[in-house]
Each structure stands twice: as C-alpha cells, then as structure tokens.
Amino acid sequence: MPLNRCMHGILRIWLLLGLAVAHPVQAQTQATNAITSLTTSVTNLGFPDVNQLLQSTNVIPRDSAASVREMSLLDDKQKLGAGDKVSFRVIEDQEDPKELFVSEAGDLDIPYIGLVSAQNRTCREVAMEAKQLLEKEYYYQATVIISLLQVNKTRTMGRVYVTGQVRMSGPQDIPGTEVYTVSKAILKAGGFTDFADKRRVRLVRKAAADGSQKKTFEINVEDIFRKGKTENDVVVEADDLIYVGQRAVNF
C-alpha cells in the first residue's frame, strides 16, 4: 500500500527530527535521507510538496535567525558573579528550566558541555557561548535561555574610583546586586560640588588583559539627572576612574 508506506515514512521523519533537536547532528542526517526517499513517493502519488507537508506538522527545526533574535532579548547589562543563581534551558528540549549556580571560580556547569566562564559576563554573553558549544556536537540547533534568578548580595564586582569635584572622593565597591553606573557612583560620592562641570564627566577605563585599548568616555551627567537621559549613563567596571572637572567659568 503506497499510501501506508508514505504515512509510515512521515512518522519516521517526525521521530528522527524530534531526536535531532536534542541529540547529535547524525540524527538530522538520517532524517534528511528519509525526506529524500519520501519525496519521490509523495510526488508519484500526487500529494502536495513534501516540505509543505512537513512544515504543517511543525517538525522542521526552528529557524536559526529566529533563534538568535530570541536570544538577543536576554539581559546584557547585569554582570554575573560567584554565588549568583540563574535559570537555564534549551527551548528545543521542551523541558522545565534548570537552576544553576555560578561557582566560586566564576563558572557555570552547563549540561553536556561542562564549565563555562560566567564571571563578569552577562546572561546573553554566556548563553551565546553555550549555544555555539552545544551546536558543535550535541544539538542541530540550540536556543539557550539564561536568566538571573538571584544575586549573591554579599559579593562585589571590584572597585571604581571617583575623584575631582565631588563631595567625597575615593574608591567605591561596585555592588553585585544592581547595574552600577556613573551617575550612581557620583550620588554615592555625595554629589557634585558647586563648581563641578556636570556636563563633561570623564570615565577612564584602563587597557584590559585581552588586549583592548584604554578608553575614555565623556558623560553629560546633568542631562541624566535633570532630563532623565539614562540611556547616556555608562555602566562602570572594576578599576574604572571617574573624574569630575571644574567648570571653566564659575558663576
């Protein structure tokens, strides 16, 4: 019975593609071969295009571009650190999220691939790396979702140094419980003095070990405070120097 053989073939492809989502790429290759074999039978029987038939059953893997777009919505501001608790899942697994903790060494122990560095990295950064590693060997496609569940409130992310025309110059611990910005550091330093140049606050970031060059940012903090332009606020990193100069004309 040709019709029965075709339905059996479709069922076989459905099972193989289902396995290919959560298992090595070899299963996807087997499914591709089965699709090629089935196409001839379907065409001879006058059925609709086999790709349309398979898409109608939702067994075709998710579009890769859509997967990346979905992951691009993950948090890319809050830095992770030791003791933080995160939620981890691969959407294609269709399983409940798993709770993972960042180790004292700053790593996440991710299923299948093991330790991935998370210290001073965002959920999006870690998820993107995990996606690449999983797709190398274990998944045809992996949409990795990592979100921060709980911050270790006892940890800090290093220190930032505030100097110049602020009321309390000196180092500040960068809390691990929030996104710490230039404006927040100035508020913690007691705010500006009367003669501070609020429109040209400089943040100096030293060259990093990865070869990135020294950077200097100029931030109009007055616009942040008075006009709420928080999009211009810069998130500080460990060992940043914030310098508040004096206005050229005092009146």
Do 84 and 132 share a domain, yes or no? Answer: yes
Do 166 and 206 share a domain, yes or no? Answer: yes
Residue 239 counted as domain residue:
yes
pLDDT digits (tens, 9 = 90+) for 169-196: 999 999 877 889 999 999 999 999 999 9
| Cβ atoms 86, 100 nearer than 8 A | yes
Residue 90 has pLDDT above 60, yes or no: yes
The residue with greater pLDDT, 207 or 54, is 207
Residue 104 counted as domain residue:
yes
Do 101 and 170 share a domain, yes or no? Answer: no
Do 172 and 101 share a domain, yes or no? Answer: no
Tokens 């501001």 sit on residue:
77
CATH number of the domain bearing residue 87: 3.30.1950.10
What is the largest distance, in Å, between two alpha-carbon atoms of the chain? 95
Domain range spanning residue 175? Answer: 156-244
Residue 164's CB is within 10 A of a number of other CB atoms, namely 19
Do 132 and 96 share a domain, yes or no? Answer: yes
pLDDT for residue 67: 77
- Indicate the residue among 43, 61, 79 that finishes a domain: 61
pLDDT for residue 9: 54
- Indicate the residue among 150, 167, 182 that finishes a domain: 150
List all residues 6 or more positions away from 76 whose beta carbon is below 8 Å from its beta carbon: 122, 123, 124, 125
Q: What is the mean pLDDT of residues 231-249?
A: 92
Confidence category of residue 207, pLDDT binned at 50, 70, 90: confident
pLDDT for residue 173: 92
Confidence category of residue 32, pLDDT binned at 50, 70, 90: low
pLDDT for residue 61: 52
- Indicate the residue among 108, 130, 150 that finishes a domain: 150
pLDDT for residue 34: 53
Q: What is the mean pLDDT of residues 193-202?
A: 96
Confidence category of residue 1, pLDDT binned at 50, 70, 90: very low
Residue 239 has pLDDT above 90, yes or no: yes
| Cβ atoms 203, 240 nearer than 8 A | yes
Total domains in the chain come to: 3
Residue 7 has pLDDT above 60, yes or no: no
Residue 148's CB is within 10 A of a number of other CB atoms, namely 17
Mean pLDDT estimate for the chain: 81
Do 17 and 34 share a domain, yes or no? Answer: yes
Residue 250 counted as domain residue:
no
pLDDT for residue 217: 95
Q: What is the mean pLDDT of residues 67-80?
A: 86
pLDDT for residue 58: 41
DSSP-assigned states of every residue in 45-97: TTPSPHHHHHHHTT-SPPPHHHHHHHHTTS--SSPP-TT-EEEEEEGGG----
